[in-house]
Amino acid sequence: MAMAIWPILMVAMVVAAAAVSDAADTNGVHQPCADTKIQRSDGFTFGIAFSSKNNFYNDQSHQLSPCDRRLSLSSLGSQLALFRPRVDEISLLSINTSTFFPDLNGGYMVAFAGRKYAARSLPAFVANSTYTVTSFTLVLEFQKGRLQNLYWKRDGCASCSSKSNFVCLNKQDCAIRTSSCKNRGGSVDCSLGIQLAFSGTDKHLMALNSWYEVENLRQYSLYGLYSNLKNSLTSQYNNFF
Ligand X SMILES: *[C@@H]1O[C@H](CO)[C@@H](O)[C@H](O)[C@H]1NC(C)=O
Please say whether the beta carbons of 194 and 137 come within 8 A. Answer: yes
Question: Beta partners for 173?
Answer: 169
Nearest approach, Cβ of 97 to ligand X (angstroms)?
Answer: 7
Residue 98 binding ligand X, by CB under 6 A = yes
Nearest approach, Cβ of 128 to ligand X (angstroms)?
Answer: 4
Please say whether the beta carbons of 210 and 89 come within 8 A. Answer: yes
One of 54, 58, 129, 161 touching ligand X (CB under 6 A): 129
Residue 48 binding ligand X, by CB under 6 A = no
CB atoms within 10 A of CB 76: 12
Please say whether the beta carbons of 47 and 114 come within 8 A. Answer: no
CB atoms within 10 A of CB 43: 19
Residue 183 binding ligand X, by CB under 6 A = no
Size of the site for ligand X (CB under 6 A): 13
Q: Which stretch binds ligand X (CB under 6 A): 16-24, 108-116, 125-133, 135-143?
A: 125-133
Q: Whose CA is closest to 139, among 204, 36, 208?
A: 208
Nearest approach, Cβ of 178 to ligand X (angstroms)?
Answer: 9
Residue 96 binding ligand X, by CB under 6 A = yes
Task: Give the H/E segment covering residue 177.
Answer: strand 173-177
Nearest approach, Cβ of 153 to ligand X (angstroms)?
Answer: 19
Residue 179 binding ligand X, by CB under 6 A = no
Which region, left, alpha or beta, applies to residue 52 given φ > 0 means left and ψ of -120 to 50 means alpha?
A: beta
Residue 239 binding ligand X, by CB under 6 A = no
What sign for the dihedral angle of Cα 155, 156, 161, 163?
positive
Nearest approach, Cβ of 107 to ligand X (angstroms)?
Answer: 8
CB atoms within 10 A of CB 93: 22
Nearer to ligand X, 94 or 137 (CB): 94
Nearest approach, Cβ of 125 to ligand X (angstroms)?
Answer: 6
Binding positions for ligand X, rule: CB under 6 A: 94, 96, 98, 125, 128-131, 169, 189, 191, 232-233
